[in-house]
Structure 1
């Protein structure tokens, strides 16, 4: 817990705690009022909301359908060269990363405030043009507390902002029902995401198959062994923080005699334990992110404050999304038994709960203690945006090329027929 002893702003400089009323839970009515909304913004009127919804829908539908066409074009590669096919899949996954980064920048802009403990010193920096740049490894397991549905969007952006670029190699463990969403579900299956039914008898063989593929060693022409890039994203809590989930977590804590965290759910260790056991030897680090949304009151839930429609259609994105990073060596994580690992993970969650308590009290997660050493600020503030405005055009590169080749072929055929 050394990171919790880091410098905190003096009382006269402290940022007010992000609450609507101390100790009070935000109700849906409070969260939707024009003056008290946690975003601090007045929602757009009906006409503007409709225009934003239509423009967002056109953008998302056009770009996602383009990705699906790109996937169809590349499917024959699977039968000719598997390595080339998986590289192609990564290309389409990068396109989706560009889509969600662009749509957040255009429709749901917010401040991203980032800090980390000593274990990630020098791995998070701010570029001259104001962007955040991460230097996380190409292979890792990433875990985070699950606040609201947009968590994975912001964490995918971290892969986009990473150097080397890794947003084409993100794999997410999701609940099985999501794969039946039209278009989106098909794309996620194409991306190799892992779907869970929450029944280990069903999930374990499925996970074992996917994890074996992700930990498969390859040999380059010089005889050197290497592994493909991989960011495996897990939310150990199993679901986002909500009234129902909170009640179940508290009941489980009472039954087992565990301390009940105040600001998050107790983690479920079974899935993560299985993943780390399968990936041992092929991945070196677990990166842990504590996520906090400005404006969520003490005892309240992010989903009551920041819905997808509120963020992207009403113009009420969070004032800030706060990340605090730390990492753990897999070789130092106790994996000798499920019971020992369960306690280790629970202890990490209690530490995260303490960080969230600091956030509720000061408006800041722990600062980066190495700030003065590398010239970087104690908190890096940036926004979710692409490297350059026209980067979204990359999404259309494959389909445009195929179309032009087709048109040229038709013309040549017509001329020499």
Structure 2
């Protein structure tokens, strides 16, 4: 919240002045904040991240597939991005449930960072995702999209529903993952591939060999994993099937392999290609993040409690984002609307000015 009020709110006017700078600034600040989340886990809680398999290439436009073991996987995934990206940079967007955009602070920040929110109503979700992806294509944006094909995290209740689906569809039971939903996956692959926005698909498997927090409440109680293991497998876009049915079969096969891999990993404590000696210690950026974010957080909180100007500042932006979050599909779609409007105006201006320019030349 303090980072939102002190860093994000001041750059909001850039959305109207210079969207290119605005887009860059929001993504740089968000990456800085991700490093703070990783720093809290590594430096303060002693969480260790273990990597095996391929590296993530941030220069690619890619789709990242991750199994959903708990509600916090996407937070721990920032640790994987910090250690598995080569070079150590990324621009990862997450496909999230629409309600998260309403969360004070983080949800508002993700709107400004142009994330993809879905409502679980396919026609509307398809339209909203297409709106963002077309915008990325038009501005020649390099990005990665993180998708949870299972749609929800693994619990006893969701496992039961997954098994019931397997019986109806004639599929084998899975032990450590849920059967993936294929509609969103096939749509994203086709949409990104047709727009020349897909270089590779990364199959990423996360495992928690020891302590496993399931909810945000577990973290508040201090229940943090000692180790988080990631295995990454890169699939070039040329290796993917060309048809929807082929993509569905491919994804089912990937998830079946993931289930077997997790079974081995949980029994031996690490992925087959990894070793307990390959723990990733905190990167230097983690210590720098602590030195930057902690003074900023407490300093902004102090000003919020003591200075009416800051109180008014925070109130104005809180009301603004509450209205945007509950009254629209998010600030990210207003950004796209502004871009479309400017593009149409520019085309009209060019058509109007071209006869005049020809007359001047004559």
Matched, 1:108 2:45: yes
Counterpart of 2:159? 246
Matched, 1:365 2:271: yes
1:199-210 to 2 correspondence within 5 Å? 199-210=121-132
Matched, 1:330 2:267: no
Counterpart of 1:128? none
* Among candidates 148, 162, 181, match of residue 235 of structure 1: 148
Structure 1 residue 324: Cα displacement: 1.1
Structure 1 residue 163: Cα displacement: 3.6
TM-score (norm 1): 0.65
Structure 1 residue 65: Cα displacement: 1.9
Residues 169-199 of structure 1: per-residue CA shift (max 9 Å, x gap): 2210011121222222211211111111111
1:206-225 to 2 correspondence within 5 Å? 206-216=128-138
Counterpart of 1:354? 260
Counterpart of 1:172? 94
Query: Whole-Å Cα distance in 1 between the matches of residues 13 and 234 of structure 2?
Result: 39
Q: Give the match's secondary structure for 1:215.
A: helix
- Structure 2 gaps, min length 5: 304-362
Q: Give the match's secondary structure for 1:326.
A: strand
Q: Give the match's secondary structure for 1:387.
A: helix
The size of the alignment, in residue pairs, is 295
Q: Give the match's secondary structure for 2:23.
A: helix
Per mean C-alpha deviation after superposition, the further-off stretch among 270-279 and 381-390 is: 381-390
Query: Whole-Å Cα distance in 2 between the matches of residues 248 and 83 of structure 1?
Result: 44
Structure 1 residue 331: Cα displacement: 2.2
Q: Contact 1:115–1:379 at 8 Å: present in 2 too?
A: no
Q: Contact 2:166–2:173 at 8 Å: present in 1 too?
A: yes
| Structure-2 change in CA distance of 1:393 and 1:87 (3 Å) | farther
Residues 298-352 of structure 1: per-residue CA shift (max 9 Å, x gap): xxxx45xx544444543x3223111111111122211422x22111100100000
Q: Give the match's secondary structure for 1:323.
A: strand
Query: Whole-Å Cα distance in 2 between the matches of residues 284 and 355 of structure 1?
Result: 25
* Among candidates 68, 77, 80, match of residue 14 of structure 2: 77
1:29-44 to 2 correspondence within 5 Å? none
TM-score (norm 2): 0.74
Residues 14-45 of structure 1: per-residue CA shift (max 9 Å, x gap): xxxxxxxxxxxxxxxxxxxxxxxxxxxxxxxx
Query: Whole-Å Cα distance in 2 between the matches of residues 76 and 270 of structure 1?
Result: 37
Counterpart of 1:6? none
Aligned Cα RMSD in Å? 2.6
Q: Contact 1:292–1:356 at 8 Å: present in 2 too?
A: yes
Query: Whole-Å Cα distance in 1 between the matches of residues 277 and 258 of structure 2?
Result: 18
Q: Contact 1:71–1:89 at 8 Å: present in 2 too?
A: yes
Structure having the higher helix fraction is 2
Residues 270-299 of structure 1: per-residue CA shift (max 9 Å, x gap): 111111111112221111111110136xxx
Q: Contact 1:110–1:320 at 8 Å: present in 2 too?
A: yes
Counterpart of 1:381? 279
